[in-house]
Amino acid sequence: MSPREMPHVVVVTSRCRHSRQTFGVRVEEVKSQDWHATWAFAIKDDAAKREGYSKAILRGRFAIDHQYPGCPGCTGKGLVKCQCGQLSCFDGETREFTCPWCNRGGKLGGAVDNLSARGDR
Ligand SMILES: [Zn+2]
Ligand SMILES: [Zn+2]
């Protein structure tokens, strides 16, 4: 298989709502415009900046893959996106939401349908 045929894989940054730990989420384009989160791993903030993880912009549908291990901080299996554009973990239960990036609270807006996470705050 040539490298060109490898699946699109990007890493976006997220943050745990409980521990406020930054973590990377590996997202694979399993079909055209169909993205699955398949892995999550703890990273340091400065490493995330250095690697440019948060520059990824994904277009299309987004789903949590069944093999996704959950948030490294609290094992929450979901992801939600705040109005500020940043991702955080979601345990699937809490209705009230406080963003660990911008500290704004609010109601959850439903499923993440695109990931245009940006690193600069
Ligand atoms: Zn978490
Ligand atoms: Zn926010």
Tell me whether residue 93 is in a domain. Answer: yes
Angle of CA points 33, 70, 52, to nearest 5°: 60
Distance 43 CA to ligand 1 centre (A): 13
90: containing domain: 3-107
Distance 97 CA to ligand 2 centre (A): 10
Q: By CB neighbour count within 10 A (0-12 exposed, 13-18 middle, 19+ buried), where does 28 fall?
A: middle
Residue pair 109/91 in contact by the 8 Å Cβ criterion: no
The residue type found at 71 is C
Domain count of the chain?
1
Tell me whether residue 120 is in a domain. Answer: no
Distance 23 CA to ligand 1 centre (A): 9
Q: pLDDT grade, residue 85 (50/70/90)?
A: confident
Mean pLDDT score, 21-28 = 93
Distance 70 CA to ligand 2 centre (A): 20
Tell me whether residue 15 is in a domain. Answer: yes
Tell me whether residue 29 is in a domain. Answer: yes
Tell me whether residue 76 is in a domain. Answer: yes
Tell me whether residue 112 is in a domain. Answer: no
Distance 88 CA to ligand 1 centre (A): 7
Q: Is the pLDDT of residue 109 over 60?
A: no
Q: pLDDT grade, residue 71 (50/70/90)?
A: very high
- Name the pTM for this structure: 0.79
Cα-atom radius of gyration of the chain, to the nearest Å? 14
Tell me whether residue 115 is in a domain. Answer: no
Tell me whether residue 121 is in a domain. Answer: no
